[in-house]
Structure 1
C-alpha cells in the first residue's frame, strides 16, 4: 500500500462503530481531496485524525472469529472455513431468548482480543498483539515506519 503519511492513525475495526451527528457533519463537510485506503473503517480513522478524534476501544466488539458471552457486536466469519465458530447472530439471539448463554453451541475455545485467555487454546499476544484499554489493539512490536513519497 502506498501511504504518504508517517503514522497510521487508530481506527475502529469494521465490526461496529457509532458516530454522533456532529461527527458525521464534521467529516462530511470537509472540502477538497481526501486520502483513501482500502477499507472504510481505516478511512474513517484517517478522516477523524486531523480533528483529534480517536476511537474508544471496547473489547466487547470483536472483529475476529470468536464468541464471548458478554460481546455486544461481532464480525461473523466465512462459515466455509474449517475453524469458523459457526452459527449466526440469529442463533445467538435464539440462545438468549431460550435463557441460554449467548455463545451456547458456538466454538468458545479461542480467546477474543483483549479478553483474559485462561483455559483457552490461544492468547492474542501469541499473534503479536497488545491491548490497551484506551488505545485498543496495537502491535506488540511496531515495525520501523518510513515515509513513502
Structure 2
C-alpha cells in the first residue's frame, strides 16, 4: 500500500524545537544520519520502498551490481514507515509523502513544516513515541475525560 498525501509530524514526546542534524559517530553515520543525508540530498525522489531499500543497501555495503540479487529477500519482509524514523521521533523533522508517495523532510521550526501540517490536502499522522507512556497516561489518551472502571463480577 503506497502512502500518499500524508504528513508525519514529530512525536509528541520529542524534545526537539528545531530540526537537529544527526551526528556521525566514530566516523560512521547512524541510521538517523543516513535518513537525513538521503532525504535532504534527494527530496521527493524516493518512495518508501525505494528509500528503505537504499538505506538497507548502504547499511550493509551492498554494491550496486549486487542489489538486484538482494531485492526479493528484502521485500519479502515488512519495513517501517517514516513514523518510526529517528528523524520524526527525536530529531525534529516532519516527513511529507507527496501525491506520488515520494518523501521529503522538513524541520519542525520551518514555515514549510507548518504549512504541510495545516494543509487540508494532507492526512496528518504523528511519529511514534520514543518511549512507551505509563499506564495512566495511556488510559488518559485513550479515554480523555472519562473514568474507566474495572469490570465487576456479579456473582
Asked if TM exceeds 0.5, the reply is no
More strand per residue: 2
TM-score (norm 1): 0.24
TM-score (norm 2): 0.24
More helix per residue: 2
* Structure possessing the higher relative contact order (Cα contacts under 8 Å, 6 or more residues apart): 2
Return the index of the structure with the highest Cα Rg.
2
